[in-house]
Chain A
Amino acid sequence: MNIFVFNCGSSSLKYKMISMPSEKELFGGEVQRIASRTAKPSQIIHEADGGKEIFVESIKNHLEAFSEVMKIVEERGYAKPDIFAHRLVKGSKEIGKDALLDEASFAFLEDLKELAPIHNPPIIEVIKACKEKCPEVPQAIILDTSFHSTIPDYAYTYALPKKLCEELGIRKYGFHGISHQFVSEEAADYLNIPVEKFNAVSCHLGSGGASLCAIKEGKSIDNSMGFSPLQGLVMSTRCGNLDPAVLLKMLAYEEGDFLKVNKILNKKSGVLGLSGISSDIRDIIRAKDNDAKSEITFEIYLWRIKKYLGSYLALLGRVDAIIFTDTIGETVPLVRKLVCSDMDFFGIKLDEMKNRHAESYPCDVSPPESKIRIIVVKTNEELSIAKRAYQLLRHESLLAEKDYRS
């Protein structure tokens, strides 16, 4: 069975055709820097049969990205998928867990947009585009929040009036769950520790969004993102943590225009808001030696990661590994080096040479004397999504068979 996975990030669209149950990747790629203000233009990196093609395009939104990907797929004559599977950043009461989309659930899709205003709208658009393009192919959605369902109540509760929280569904949900789960299982396997005994802090540092996750005995117990993917670390265009009273000042200043404030916090803040030159932290690293604003932007970016790392190390007590993953976590050794520096109290040590030359994943970039292993893992959310979509299909077909027999 071929599962065509789409994984919309805030400024990217990753795609992969995966054959299940063999987990063989038939082709895949990523549309990078969609509509983002960075030093480099948008591009599509397409990979198949060990080869790589790069197309530089001007891509304004995720729908255009989807069209370009489908053009590539059609031009190369790949077989049609048996199912499309999508990462859904945040669900609702109606769509609250991994599910196959039927006509009824399609009706609820529009309502999901506002729950994660950066991510869900492009995902919904891509789902609709898939339906239009291949109406006969079923679609599955895999929730990014499922892994965080084990976060305890004292960690997911905000100290707001109970009635208000219940009415508006206010609580911490956590995000990047598909990735945190995948890399923690990979790291546990790599270190030969049973996942149910594995304690780690997973640092998912993407080029768009980023979050840290405290993992105890294989389960998420806290995540730096909260009710929405806005809370937590400094991200490419998202502010991360912010004093709620500042937000009220912003609302008053904008005369109650919450859409405008929302846009500022989601699209004009973070690395872009601080630096004024780029939303990509790699551009900032290149510019920091000659630009004071870039220098301080990079410092703030790292500092927020360090503070969350300290919080989760204190929370977990015994920690087997710190995991770095996704675009920045995997490919920018300087970020790993600086996040792990001056953390002797926790017994963290990084091997500079191993860190600089980390190319084959997973790999351990800590020296033997480090009390905590520092593991770089290549995240593969698409494989994780394909596995869960496959399980979903098997479950559904088993149920259908059971119904038929009874």
Chain B
Amino acid sequence: MRDRKIKISWLIAHILVCHFASAQDNPLSIPLANLKTPNSPCFQLLDISPSSVEHPGNPKEFAVSALSQLNNGNGIPKNFAYEIAPYWFFKPQSENVYKYINVDASHSAAHYYTGILRKLAISIASTFSDSTSGSLLNNTNYISFGIRTNLITIRKNSNIDNIIQDIHNLHGIQGSCTVVGQTATELAQCERSHPNYKTDSAALQNDMNETPLFQLDAAAAYSEAYAANSFNNSRFNRSAEWITATFGESFWRNHRDKFYLMGMFKLLQDKILTDTAKSVFENKSAIDLGGKLSYSNGNFLIGVEFVQRTYAGDKAISSNRCVGIIQYKMNDNLYLTTSFGQNFGSTHNLFTLVGLNFGFGNKGLSLPD
């Protein structure tokens, strides 16, 4: 009984302290939205992605991409990709946000390695081409499978220090609010009504969203082609493995604007139609080497990319791709992308595309862009 009296006395004391506080009903949490739905590596393999050099991103649980090439058919999307991120379904209990965004107080180099599974995304895509365009042949269905992940993320030491300092500040608020005998609701009310809570929480959110200095992503994809809508006509179409390195920098304190300089190296195994009359295909190896420069400010991103494709021993079919990209984030779950320029290949290589990327799921962390 005496225990209960003590507890009640502390409850009353604390309620008095927090009584005049304007406690919020909703949690003021670090937004875990802002997740991007990057373009699927399946589309990148088929050269119909809005961008061949893709910005790094933390994947949503599930994503659907629909692309429409405006110069191919009637504009109704015929290209669809579905992507899942297994991490959000199978992550271990010991996982926390700092492991995911590579924050380590010791600044150790070992922590730069993200781990293959954390940001792994698996995708499948299908597309139908009703005319020969770019790398696609007419009247052919394509099925593609792809995976991508982040390998290395390096944050600035100052960014890591700021995040840790933000947490220390929140610790201070928590310490001033913690009283023996209180309930969690009372603690929450006290913390949220602390004059520094909103400021410190916003600072933590801002620092967590700061663009990493360097990111290295890897991806691989495989595709099959089905001519004339016939399953029996299946053949290997193309496979590739590639890495993308991204340097990012913000020039303003609010980190809303970001410049990206990106480089991409891809090894490609391709099956090229060498004799149109006899439908003879020949395996070819190629290397893609490309770069991209982009700028984003809030929900808006603009960029230009150039990729040179060089086939081993056959420079006649080598080509390049140069496109401009505009992307607008309509909301946390929907991105609109338009691209315009020259695609690979020599036939119908005008590239005009509109794409919508839908993301599903509220888990995860905010993106650099």
- A joins B in a complex: no
Q: What residues of chain B have their CB less than 8 Å away from a CB belonging to chain A?
A: none
Q: What residues of chain A have their CB less than 8 Å away from a CB belonging to chain B?
A: none
